[in-house]
Chain A
Amino acid sequence: QQQVKQSPQSLIVQKGGIPIINCAYENTAFDYFPWYQQFPGKGPALLIAIRPDVSEKKEGRFTISFNKSAKQFSLHIMDSQPGDSATYFCAASKTSGSRLTFGEGTQLTVNP
């Protein structure tokens, strides 16, 4: 059962553009929503995470927007750079349960 749906599957933007990646979840018990960045041959690296008591969180060029009523959250990358080209995964967890449920990933390409 797919509990976290991620879109788009792939995304191409020009340098300086603002790619947006969306995720939707089903389980209302989820209360922790991280985003991970993965480069080829590497493990996922934690970028930023949010809990449902806030609607937005910014860290550097990365922003998470969270809509609790719609059960959706999204990642925005401001002033994107070619070095941001990677696969991005959203995930969700019940804090008490610990296991992360991942989306299927978005392959982002930022052209120079």
Chain B
Amino acid sequence: NAGVMQNPRHLVRRRGQEARLRCSPMKGHSHVYWYRQLPEEGLKFMVYLQKENIIDESGMPKERFSAEFPKEGPSILRIQQVVRGDSAAYFCASSPGHQPQHFGDGTRLSIL
């Protein structure tokens, strides 16, 4: 069974560019969650999606960040006009229902 797949594993962007992070959930999982981890900190919830629906986006910054989970294809976390403070590890998790959540190995985003 393939686990949660995230790509790219590492992403470097210059300030002002766009970053697109992709997440393919485990087979049979229809719930996807995105978390952000700053260095030496715990994970912070960003958004929870089911197919074609955003269920909870209370952890998402109000501007520049968006997420989608289309009917076909991976979930996408999109960050527009990146700034240095966006540098972090972004983790995706999936679950068949609400729990348990299984995590991918993350995308490390670096902003130059």
Interface of A toward B, CB cutoff 8 Å: 6, 32, 34, 36, 41-46, 49, 89, 93, 95-105
Q: How many residues of B contact A (CB 8 A)?
A: 27
Report which B residues bind A (CB closer than 8 A).
4, 6, 31, 33, 35, 41-45, 48, 55-56, 58-59, 91, 93, 95, 98-106
- CB atoms of A96 and B44 under 8 A apart: no
Known contacts A97-B56, A99-B48, A100-B43; A43/B99 CB under 8 A: no
The answer to whether A95 touches B103 (Cβ under 8 A) is no
User: Is A98 touching B42 in the complex (CB atoms < 8 A)?
Assistant: no
Question: Binding site of B, secondary structure by majority: helix, strand, loop or mixed?
Answer: strand
Rank and list the top 6 A-B pairs by shortest CB-CB distance, nearest first: A43-B103, A102-B42, A98-B98, A99-B45, A43-B105, A102-B43
Q: Which of A89, A95, A98 makes the CB contact (< 8 A) with B43? A: A89
Residues of B near A101 (CB, < 8 A) are 45
